[in-house]
A and B are shown apart, each in its own frame.
Chain A
Amino acid sequence: MAKFNLNGRAISLQIDPTTPILWTLRDHIGLTGTKFGCGAALCGACTVHLNGSPIRACVTPVSAAEGGQVTTIEAIAQNRVGKAVQEAWIKHDVAQCGYCQSGQIMSATALLTQKNNPTDADIDAAMSGNICRCGTYQRIRAAIKDASRVLSQGV
């Protein structure tokens, strides 16, 4: 049995506690916005927030979320920073295939929550664990900076 809060909703599941959060979300709960890219915490496609911190859901067992709060891409816009990041992503037309972008947005939201005015080096450090095979990094960087501007203006 696993109990945690997912996007503001109480979840209670009969599940092997070693099951990674990624597959708990995708195969057991049916929430597919969080993506499978490597299964080894190497690409960041599966990034979600556990108690506000970014984690790689593909290697984090659901037992680690027991009693905690999990936030996924589907609910990130409920958070002020997440909303600004998502809108910046749309404005900058960041996504190409789009597959990695849930994870990118989750990482960027975590970055801007921690540092509201990140430098290029901060962006490199926070985002280098998220691979984009289409190569959308230029626009990701621009969108993060734009979201940062919007947030600092208190819009």
Chain B
Amino acid sequence: MDLSPSQTRRLSHSLLGVNVSKSFTEVQSAAVNRRAFLKLSVASGFALGAYSLMNPLAEAQTSTLVELKANQQPDAFLQISEDGTITVQVNRLDFGQGVSTGLPLVLAEELDADWSKVKSQLAPAAEAYKDPNFGLQMTGGSSALSNSWLQYRELGARARAMLIAAAAEQWKMNPATLRTENSMVIASNGKRANYAELATLAGRLPVPEKVALKNPKHFKLLGKPVSSLSARAKSDGSQQFGIDVKLPGMKIALVARGPVFGAKMKSMATSTAAKMPGVFAIFPTPLDRGAVGVAVVADTYWQAKQARDALKIEWDTDGLERLDSVKQLASYKALAATPGTKTTRQAYQPSVKRASRILDAEYTFPYLAHAPMEPLNATVNFTGEACEVWVGSQFQTIDQATVAKVLGLKPEQVKLNTLAAGGGFGRRAVPTADYIFEAAQIAKGLKIAGKPVPVKVMWSREDDIKGGYYRPAHVHRAQIALDESGRELLGWKHTVVGQSIISGTPFEAFMLKNGVDRTAIEGIVDTPYKLPLSLEVHHPKVNVPVLWWRSVGHTHTAFVMETLIDELAALAGEDPVAYRKRMLEARQGKNASRYIAALDLAVEKSGYGKKALPAGRAYGLAVHESFNSVVAYVVEASVKEGTPLLHKVTAGVHCNFCVNPRAVEAQVQGAVTMAIGLTLPEAAITFKDGVVEQSQFSDYQIARMSEVPDFAVHIVPSMDPPTGMGEPGLPPLAPAFANAIAKVTGKRLRSLPFDLQQLKT
């Protein structure tokens, strides 16, 4: 996801037709210049904002503040209970990236909270929890910490000021003489009170419009390694995921989907399935993109699965394209040789007379499934007048609006609870809300059939692998003209062929420019190097739903660019680090210094250029920026009997101020592992006669324990506002690995997964 704030604000207005508050960008200014009051209506006392926690959807009607925006009010984010526990609402999905620790940490720092007493909760869909920049409640683009950094600091600082004011009032002291520490307000005479004692009174006091934030030099919690708040729950089986939701009377539904995307149920024989134990209902149900499937509803998953297997369904696939991956690759390669839509002003007109050499390189990338460990699911309880949903969603605002539309309700009549998700990597951020749309349709179908029960719609692993919304397949072709020294680039013609992720979605109006999808060219068009780039794009229409996949376009663009740069360095007879620095310095882009700092750190810590490696082993490196963070890798690799082996990875990371080094290290380790997976044979989704050829972890490869190398993550020190790290660790790994293999074998790998045949010949 790569949206500018104004784009998404407009988007959320037009797309959802729901009330989206005006620009939130003003939150960037600490000066909110009118007085605002927090009025509590709590029966239980002791709670700052217990009301909105108990009933988050009611806040629109009972708006407690006069001026401050919903997402600036501590009461929607913070609850202090009698025992001193501080519960922080997190305005994102946590699906492994650690935001349910990161954002509470930021708030707790400014609150001077006792961290051992802090808990976190994933917030339901509500106005207060929309991203302050995007105006949508969503998780994507590695944006949580960067977009909510100031927001959560101010929330903590406001609450702290109110607690100080409460103590000052109680003690008849000047608030300026009071300080805070470890969830206590402390007076200069030694008098102290804990936050729990002060919370009720604090809640009745005005919310300060202006708060001073700490000088980062005085941070106590931030910048130090902190363990995840959910570490224990995720190690003892008690963590609740969407799939664990259980409601009284709830049934389980599976959906039979056609063999080709868009297929409609033509006829079905249900007599065997309907008689099977536990089966509650079987009926045709609308799927997204106009398809029609069959819902099988039973008491348990196993019963629903058995009954689905027993269905005999005839499918209508008339008029649907039936993709063949082999033919698609050939057609993409042919397209790459034809003029596409120009995205750069520069024309490819190298003074060919001077050009002594043209590097002509073709790259291929397959479709990829996200395959999060928790298969997709959503639980819907639709009573007719209202609806409640439980789901691990990256797009709460869109999902809530989608459910409302299906059920003929207003968005505010749909209470959408955010559950922790077992991974997602983009698959839970779907513009069409596909799996949530289907769940709402099934709930509606049950209601129409006179069987209104809560229903959990689940996907099998086969449903997931075959279910579409893949990272699109791509072909790149680059023709680079060099002078005779090899040091000067005279021209760089680059053509990208691949389906647009954005095209046909409501995001089209903002992320598709002159017919070119920004996500297909990110990482090329914004190259930090001085390159004579002439970039063209083809977006063929294909009957395969596609979607963002952890680091989106950078999954392929970084591989192409960083392997080409490495090859160009070799052609110029230059060291690949020195070559990159020369090209960075020549361009002098805004982030050149961050690239160089990350690269230098990785190089320095890796031993590159200093420590000789055993025979058959070589260094390879790559550096790439995505989502405003820069990651450099120096790897050590070898090839054994035609199989590439990755031995060691040294990372240099530039994410500005690092809120939690332990979490950043985890994200980099995870991204590297996922990127190793990209290189493995069978890390591809392919089609024959319109049907996905893979269905399970047996034929769709994921990196396993034995593939993982030694690892060291180093972070460039910085005091600038943090940038996200959920995705940026992924793009540079595969190119660094390929560059090391080129050094060992002299062979340039130009595809993901790696073409091992190339290494055997």
Contacts and interface: CB of A to CB of B under 8 A. Distances in A.
- Please say whether chains A and B are actual partners in one complex: yes
Interface of A: 16, 19-20, 23, 26-28, 30-40, 42-43, 45, 72-74, 76-77, 86, 89-90, 93-102, 105, 123-124, 127-128, 130-141
A131 B424 CA distance: 15
B230 A133 contact: no
Given A95-B230, A124-B705, A23 B300 contact: yes
Given A35-B373, A96-B670, 14 more contacts: A16-B277, A33-B238, A35-B243, A74-B237, A94-B231, A96-B666, A97-B372, A97-B373, A99-B373, A131-B697, A135-B674, A136-B666, A139-B669, A141-B705
A133 B674 contact: yes
Contacts of A37: 373-375, 461
A58 B132 CA distance: 43
A133 B241 contact: no
A43 B233 CA distance: 21
B373 A73 contact: no
Nearest to A40: B696
B147 interface: no
A27 B299 contact: yes
Contacts of B543: none
A98 to B, nearest CB: 3
Looking at A90, A123, A132, the one whose CB has the most chain B CB atoms below 10 A away is A132
Interface in B367-399: 371-375
Contacts, number: 177
A131 B670 contact: no
Nearest to A88: B235
A21 to B, nearest CB: 11
Interface in B222-249: 227-228, 230-241, 243-244, 246
A23 B301 contact: yes
Given A39-B460, A124-B706, A99 B374 contact: yes
B599 to A, nearest CB: 23
Interface residues of B, number: 61
Given A74-B236, A124-B705, A139-B666, A40 B698 contact: yes
B228 A135 contact: no
B711 A99 contact: no
Contacts of B669: 135-139
B696 A38 contact: yes
Nearest to A95: B234
A45 B373 contact: yes
Given A38-B461, A90-B227, A77 B236 contact: yes
B610 interface: no
Interface of B: 94-98, 227-228, 230-241, 243-244, 246, 252, 277, 299-302, 305, 371-375, 420-425, 460-461, 662, 666, 669-674, 696-698, 702-708, 711
Contacts of A77: 236
Contacts of B236: 33, 73-74, 76-77, 86
A20 B252 CA distance: 16
13 contacts: A31-B237, A32-B237, A35-B243, A36-B243, A43-B461, A74-B238, A90-B235, A93-B662, A96-B97, A128-B704, A131-B697, A135-B669, A139-B666
A107 to B, nearest CB: 10
A147 B753 CA distance: 35
A95 B672 contact: no
A95 B662 CA distance: 12
B605 to A, nearest CB: 16
A32 B244 contact: yes
B246 A30 contact: yes
Contacts of B228: 93, 95
B237 A135 contact: no
Given A27-B300, A40-B696, A96-B96, A131 B237 contact: no
A135 B670 contact: yes
Contacts of A123: 705
Q: Which 4 A-B pairs have the closest CB atoms?
A: A33-B237, A135-B673, A99-B422, A98-B234
Given A74-B237, A127-B705, A97 B662 contact: no
A6 to B, nearest CB: 13
A80 to B, nearest CB: 16
A147 to B, nearest CB: 12
Contacts of A45: 373
